[in-house]
Structure 1
Amino acid sequence: MSEILPPATISDELPTFHDQAQSDATMVALWIDKSESKHTRRNYQRQADAFLAHLLIKGRSVRSARIVDVQAFMAGLAHLAPATRATTAGAIKSLLSFAQEVGYSPFNVGKAIKAPSVKTVLAERIMSEADAMLLVAAGKASPRNYALITLIYGAGLRISEPCGLRWRDLVARGDAGQVTVYGKGGKTRVVLLSANTWKALQAIRPLKTAEINDLPVFLSRKGKGQGHLDPSQVHRIVKAAAADAGLSVNISTHWLRHAHASHSLDRGAPIHLVQSTMGHASVATTGRYLHARPADSSSMYLAI
């Protein structure tokens, strides 16, 4: 009779990770590979490199790191903005937690580290509906740029999301349409588009419709003009449109995403619907826009 083995548990898998992580560098690589976002992986690698360099000076590794080592590392970032320090603290805490979870480190010394508090500045980055319309209109000199800015605002996209779109991702729905977006964390969502947004996109659709499904919606003008726009190009397009419209120099592409959430909520869109459209993992994230632009306040009830 064959032996009946007990079901595998998470702890049974830990030696596999431990065997793979023979050094700080390989353990960091395993940690970074958990993230599906290229942007996050780049940031994690940069922050981990700085932390490992700090430990090396102290003659330590992630395995032998002490609380005072992590505290000293964070103290060395005192000259940076609170948001930057908070992001770095979160990354290092995640790294040290992962190291213990996979059996690489005996203790998680990151538990004792508290990330600095960060002032919420979301309200400062939400433009008025009138300014959003000015920004969209400023792109009309270029059909491609107009369609791009209209889509980012109209669908609440992140800066990277329009870059990967192909014509197969756009589907007509009566007089309007929908777009399938491959977003943050490798998650896909489908967003309905208004008739005006759909019209702007159809204006840049190639006249030769045969075999265009795999062509980028937003073509770069670099080289032979057959590749996708990249996020840096999108950033420059939005910045240029903001300058042409006479708007704040601080406006970025993400401000259009903020505007989408805030303006749709102001117009009565249900919060769960805005959450779905934006691709937020939690409705609490979407709720930040309600707090940033409250519809009422107790101060309005005072005699002053």
Structure 2
Amino acid sequence: MVLIMNKYPIEPRKPRDLERRARTAETGIIFNSSHIPPPAPPLQRLLDDFLTDLANAGRSRHTIVNYRCDLRRLIDFAPEGLHALDPPRLRLFFTSLAGKAPATRARAQASVNAFLAWCYKHDLIPANPMGKLDRVKVPDYFPRPLEPAVILKVLNAIPRTSLRDRLLFTLIAETGLRVSEALGIYREDLILTPDDEQIVIRGKGGRTRTVMLYAAPESLKLLHRHLREARITSGAIFRGQPTRGGSSRPMHYRTAHHAWHRYCARAGVRATIHALRHTFATRLLNEGVSLGVVRKLLGHRNMQTTLRYADVNDATVKRELLTRHRRSL
């Protein structure tokens, strides 16, 4: 009998567990049901992706800046990563803000909730832990309107050489613009047709509206002078001071905020920039302008928001009641 031997020796069969492990490495198929999912990306990278999505969704630059500020503080409380943000850790984070104003703490809660909701939507966490925490209750706050003499006192405290600042605060006082809206005005947004001067404003949520300047004569005069002296033909109207090495980019909100408080201190007045907008709305209502027109001028979506600005004095209430009484006779 002739035995035919195989030229190539037969490999000994691998143990079953080793063979199973080799197939897993080659195919990427997970056979073990107790497999641990890969760790989530670092919190800083998740924060950048979250803010990018907000920007792509058209959220305002001011909102994105506030979210970034609040969430950067949160990252310091979770060096282990996203999965460390459980209710006890979040409670510790919010406790560190105990000395802040209720509105500031409520904003921080809203920022964290939006971020964690985004993480849940992208399957990075099994649930949003903010649902187990109580929210800060913000008391209703209605800023008191300023007297015209007080506003004039602050405006007169601005040096004549600071034409940009004088125009900015005069424009807000005469038109009721939000600070962010005023700072976002570009030369291309101005329509300076004689007797029909207008500004196209880009407000919250990307909504646009038109502000008439014929009812803001002082602002219109300062605007023409500012464009001429600063030689602005395009780009932002309110930009860095060229004499101080400023760029043509829009002026930052913090710069405007600090400038306003500096002029208020010089004039011996305590008031916020937002009080200018509130004063504008109150003055119009007391002069008999309808609530619907005021809502449109302020750029509010619903009437309830406008009512928060409406501080009607007793004389206006008396006049309205008398008018209604005469009509009923």
TM-score by length of 2: 0.68
Corresponding residue for 1:37?
60
Given that 1:176 and 1:199 are in contact with CA atoms closer than 8 Å, whether structure 2 keeps it comes out as no
Instruction: Select 1:222's aligned residue among 239, 243, 260.
Output: 243
Which residue pairs with 2:133 in the alignment?
A: 113
How far apart in 1 are the matches of 2:120 and 2:127? 6
RMSD between superposed Cα atoms in Å: 3.3
Paired residue for 1:89? 109
- SS of match in other structure, 1:273: helix
Q: Are the structure 2 counterparts of residues 201 and 123 from structure 1 closer, same or farther at C-alpha, using a change threshold of 3 Å?
A: same
Letter in 2 for 1:114: D
Query: Which of 162, 165, 173 is the equivalent residue of 1:153?
Result: 173
Note if contact 2:143-2:275 (Cα within 8 Å) is conserved in structure 1: no
Q: CA deviation at 1:185?
A: 4.1
Q: Residue 191 of structure 1: CA displacement?
A: 0.8
Distance across 2 between alignment mates of 1:177 and 1:108: 50
Q: Distance in 1 between matches of 2:103 and 2:308?
A: 17
Report SS of the residue matched to 2:82: coil
Aligned-pair CA distance for 1:178: 0.9
CA distance change for structure 1 residues 273 and 104 in 2, over 3 Å: closer, same or farther?
Answer: farther
Secondary structure, aligned partner of 2:75: helix
Shift of 1:207: 7.4
Match of 2:261 in 1: 239
The match for 1:167 is 187
Cα pair 2:62 2:180 within 8 Å, conserved: no
TM-aligned CA deviation for residue 261 of structure 1? 2.4
Question: Partner residue of 1:54?
Answer: 77
Whichever residue aligns with residue 110 of structure 1, its letter is M
Cα separation, partners in 2 of 1:46 and 1:294, compared to 1, 3 Å: same
Determine if contact 2:155/2:170 at 8 Å carries over to the other structure.
Answer: yes
Instruction: Tell me if the contact between 1:280 and 1:286 (Cα under 8 Å) persists in the aligned partners.
Output: yes
Letter in 1 for 2:60: S
1:198 is aligned to 2:217? no
Structure 1 position 190, deviation (Å) = 1.7
Aligned length: 268
- Judging changes above 3 Å, is the alpha-carbon distance between structure 1 residues 256 and 216 closer, same or farther for their aligned structure 2 residues? same
Structure 1 residues 51, 200: closer, same or farther in 2, change over 3 A? closer
CA distance in 2, matches of 1:120, 1:208: 42
1:132 aligns with 2:166: no
Deviates more, 1:230-239 or 1:190-199: 230-239
For 1:80 and 1:224, locate their aligned partners in 2 and report how far apart those are by CA, in whole Å.
35
Corresponding residue of 1:276: 296
- The answer as to 2:198 corresponding to 1:178 is yes
Question: What amino acid is the match of 1:128?
Answer: E
Distance in 1 of aligned mates of 2:253 and 2:170: 16
Aligned-pair CA distance for 1:286:
1.9
By how many angstroms is 1:135 displaced? 3.2
Q: Which sections of structure 2, spanning at least 5 residues, go unmatched? A: 1-37, 319-329
Decide which structure has the larger Cα Rg and report it.
2
TM-score, normalized by length of structure 1?
0.72
Residues 181, 202 of structure 2: 8 Å contact kept: yes
What is the alpha-carbon distance in structure 2 between the residues aligned to residue 246 and residue 213 of structure 1?
37
2:175–2:280 contact (8 Å) kept in structure 1: yes
